[in-house]
Amino acid sequence: MSKMNLTRRGVIQTGAVAGAAGLTLPTYLRADGHSGFTNAPEGSSVTLGFNVPQTGPYADEGADELRAYELAVEHLNGGGDGGLMNTFSSKALQGNGILGKKVEYVTGDTQTKSDAARASARSMIEKDGAVMITGGSSSGVAVAVQALCQEAGVIFMAGLTHSNDTTGKDKKANGFRHFFNSYMSGAALAPILANNYGTDRKAYHLTADYNWGYTTEEAVRTSTEAMGWETVAAVKTPLTQTDFSSYIAPVLQSGADVLVLNHYGGNMVNSLTNAVQFGLRDKQVNGKNFEIVVPLYSRLMAKGAGANVKGIFGSTNWHWSLQDEGSKAFVQSFGTKYGFPPSQAAHTCYVQALLYADAVERAGSFNPCAVGEALEDFEFDGMGNGPTLYRGEDHQCFKDVLVVKGKENPTSEFDLLEIVEVTPTSQVTYDASIFGGELGACNPGA
C-alpha cells in the first residue's frame, strides 16, 4: 500500500484480498508495479498523454499542438510519409510504434491553468495509463505538470514554455524541454538589435508582471546593456490588462527610442497593437527612428496583431520557412495533412514526441530513468534547428535560435514572419548553474 502505484495496465495476480470489504469473488489484487516503473506498457500498445490547452485564450495554439501530436503518432506507427523520421540523425525509430508497441494517445485540456493541467495530467496517468505526458503552452503549466510527473514517475516532455524556470530553478529529472528560453532570446536578439539599431539606444521595457515576464526582461536587459544600450525604465503590467494605452502613452516622454514588449499571447497582441496605434513607429527620438521589439514571437500571435508586426524584431524557436531538410520535411508532412504550415508550438511538440520515442528505442525500455539517461547529453540533427544537444545538467535543448522580423509584404495569412538571422548555438549557451534549482534523481514511480 505504501508504494506509489498509479497504473491501470499490467495487472499481476497475487490472489490476496486486502481490506476490500464484502468481496467474495476471487480477485486479482494489484500490489506493486511488477516492472518497476509507473504505467509500464504491457500488451501491444503504449499510451502517451497529450495535455494541451483546448479551452481558454491559448486554445488555437493547443489545437495546433494536438495536430502535431496526431501527426507524430501517425509517423511513429508507420503511417504517412514518415515526416522527420526520415531526416532525424538517429535511426532507431522503425515506424513500427515504440519498441514494437503501437502508439495510442489520450488528450486532456490544460485550460492554461496549473490546477486544471495537473488534473488532466493525473487523469491520463491514473486512469489511462499514460507513460509520458507532453504539451502545454505556458510556463506555469509546464512547471506544475513537470513537478507532477516527477512525483508520479513518468516522463514530461514540455511543450511551449519559454521561461528560464522550467529548466532553471524548477527543473526536474523527469522533465525535458526542447523549446528555447528567455535567456536564449536575449542572447540571440541583442547582437541583431545592435547591428540594426546601433549600440547607442535607450530602451523602455513593458513587462508582464509574472515569472516569465521577469526572466525575459532580465535576459533582454542584460544582453542589450552588454551591447551598450541603456535601459530607461521598466514597467510591469498586470496579466489581466487588456488596454495598454496608459503604459504606452508615457514612453515617448521618457526619452526612450526603443520599446521592448516582454509580453506573450493576448498581452503581446494588445500591447503591440496599442503601441502601433500611438504611432510610436513613425516617431523620431534622439535623431533615430523609434523601434519596437518583441522578444518572443509566435506566428499565431503575429496573426492576432495583424499588420502591426511588420518590421518588428523578435525571436522564435522555429519557423516553417526554414530551408533545412528537416524543416522542409516537417512542413511538407504537416501541410499536406492539414492544409496550412505548422506553428513553432506544433514543431516543438512533434519533435518532443519523436525524441521521446527515439530515446525509448535506444534505451530499450520505457522506464523513465532509462529514457532520461538516453536523452541526457543526446546530440542529434535533422529536426529543423540544426545540430542540437539535450544537455544532461538541466535537460534543456541547445540549438540555433531564430531571430525574425514581421514581414512587410506577406503573401498569405501564414506568411507573417521572415527569418533575419539564425543565431548559432554557441552564442546562446550558458552555464547550467546560473539559474539555480536542483534536478534531483529520476523517479521511475512504482
Partner 1 sequence: MEAIILQVLNGLDKGSAYALIALGLTLIFGTLGVVNFAHGALFMIGAFCAVTLSRIISLSHEVVDETQTDFLGNPLKVEVPYVYDWFGQAAGDTIIDWAVPLSIIFAIPVMVAIGVLMERGLIKHFYKRPHADQILVTFGLAIVLQEIIKYYYGANPIPTPAPSAFVGSFDFGIMLGFEPNQIIYPYWRIIYFGFAAIIIGAVFAFLQFTTFGMVVRAGMADRETVQLLGINIDRRFTLMFGIAAAVAGLAGVMYTPINSPNYHMGMDFLVLSFVVVVVGGMGSLPGAVAAGFLLGILESFASMREVLNVLPGLNQIIIYLVAIIILLTRPRGLMGRKGVMED
Partner 2 sequence: MFGLEAKDFRLLLLVALLTMAAPFILNPFPVDSGMAQFNAGYPDLMQRFVIFGIFAIGFNILFGLTGYLSFGHAAFLGVGSYAAMWMMKLLTMNVIPGILVSVVVAGIFSLAVGWISLRRSGIYFSILTLAFAQMSYSLAYSVLTPITGGETGLQPKVTDPRILDAALTGNAPKANLFGLEMGSSTDLVMGGWVFTFNVGYYVAAVVMIFAFYMSIRIFRSPFGMMLRAVKSNQQRLNYTGLNAKPYTLAAFVISGMYAGLAGGLMVAMDTQVGAERMFWTASGEVVLMSILGGVGTLIGPVLGAGAIKYMENILSKINKDILYEWFAFLPDGLQDFVITLVYPFIGKGWHLTLGLIFMAVVIFLPGGLVEGGQRIAAMFKRKKPSDNTPDGKTTPAE
Residue 214 or 290 having the CB closest to partner 2: 214
What does the buried/exposed string (b/e) look like for 191-219 if buried means 16 or more CB atoms within 10 Å of the residue's CB? bbbbeebeeebbbbbbbbeebbbbbbbbb
- C-alpha cell belonging to residue 247: 503604459
Q: What is the DSSP letter of 308?
A: G
Q: How far apart are CA 391 and CA 379, in angstroms?
A: 9
Q: Which amino acid is at 23?
A: L
Partner whose binding site includes residue 429, from partner 1, partner 2, none (CB under 5 to 8 Å by kind): none
Query: Does 148 sit near partner 2 (CB under 8 A)?
Result: yes
Chain-centre distance for alpha carbon 209: 20
377 in contact with partner 1 (CB under 8 A): no
b (16+ CB within 10 A) / e for 319-358: bbbbebebbebbbebbeebeeebbbbbbbbbbbbbbbbbb
* Between 391 and 407, CB nearer to partner 1: 407
**Member of 87, 90, 107, 262 binding partner 2 (CB under 8 A):** 107
Among 90, 163, 316, 352, contact with partner 2 (rule: CB under 8 A): 163
> Where in 129-200 does DSSP place strands (E)?
132-135, 155-158, 175-177
Task: Name the residue nearer to partner 1 (CB basis): 29 or 239.
Answer: 239
Q: Is 6 in the site for partner 2 (CB under 8 A)?
A: yes
Instruction: Select from 77-85, 143-151, 260-268, 371-379 the region that touches partner 2 (CB under 8 A).
Output: 143-151
The residue (of 20 and 253) whose beta carbon lies closer to partner 2 is 20
Please identify which residue in 78, 82, 266, 437 interacts with partner 1, judged by CB under 8 A: 266
Q: Which stretch binds partner 1 (CB under 8 A): 23-31, 246-254, 256-264, 367-375?
A: 246-254
Where does residue 282 rank: exposed (0-12), middle (13-18), buried (19+ CB within 10 A)?
exposed
Shortest gap between Cβ of 223 and partner 2 (angstroms)?
Answer: 22
Residue located via cell numbers 491514473: 126
Q: Look-up: residue for cell 534549482?
A: 437
Task: Name the minimum Å distance from CB 96 to partner 1.
Answer: 28
Residues 369 and 425: their CA atoms lie apart, in Å, by 27
Number of residues that bind partner 2 (CB under 8 A): 67
55 binds partner 2 (CB under 8 A): yes
The amino acid occupying position 292 is I
- The reply on whether position 337 binds partner 2 by CB under 8 A is no
Distance CA 167, CA 91 (A): 27
Q: Which of 175, 341, 372, 445 binds partner 1 (CB under 8 A)?
A: 341
| Distance of closest approach, residue 236 Cβ to partner 1, in angstroms | 7
Question: Closest CB to partner 2 among 30 and 281?
Answer: 30
98-106, 122-130, 406-414, 418-426 -> range binding partner 1 (CB under 8 A): 406-414
Say which residue the cell 489511462 belongs to.
128
Stretch that binds partner 2, among 24-32, 325-333, 349-357, 422-430 (CB under 8 A): 24-32
Torsion angle of C-alpha atoms 118, 122, 125, 128, degrees rounded to 10:
-120
Is 203 within 8 Å of 230 (Cβ atoms)? Answer: yes
Stretch that binds partner 1, among 58-66, 76-84, 177-185, 382-390 (CB under 8 A): 58-66
412: burial class by Cβ within 10 Å (0-12, 13-18, 19+)? exposed
Report the nearest approach of partner 1 to the CB of residue 53 (Å).
Answer: 9
* Cα dist from 261 to 138, 217, 271, whole Å: 17, 9, 7
Give the nearest distance from C-beta 284 to partner 1 in angstroms: 8
Q: Which does 143 bind (CB under 5 to 8 A by kind): partner 1, partner 2, none?
A: partner 2
Q: Which of 397, 401, 393 is nearest to 434 (CA)?
A: 393
**Nearer of residues 58 and 380 to partner 1, judged by Cβ:** 58
Chain center to CA of 29: 39
Would you tell me which residues interact with partner 2 (CB under 8 A)? Answer: 1-8, 11, 18-20, 23, 25, 27-31, 54-55, 59, 62-63, 66, 106-109, 113-116, 118-120, 122-123, 126-127, 138-140, 143-144, 147-148, 150-152, 163, 165, 170, 172, 209-212, 214, 236, 238-240, 438, 440-441, 443
Would you tell me which residues interact with partner 1 (CB under 8 A)? Answer: 56-61, 209, 233, 235-238, 240-243, 245-247, 249-250, 252-253, 266, 269-270, 273-274, 277-279, 282-283, 285, 300-301, 303-308, 320-321, 331-332, 335-336, 340-341, 411-412, 414-415
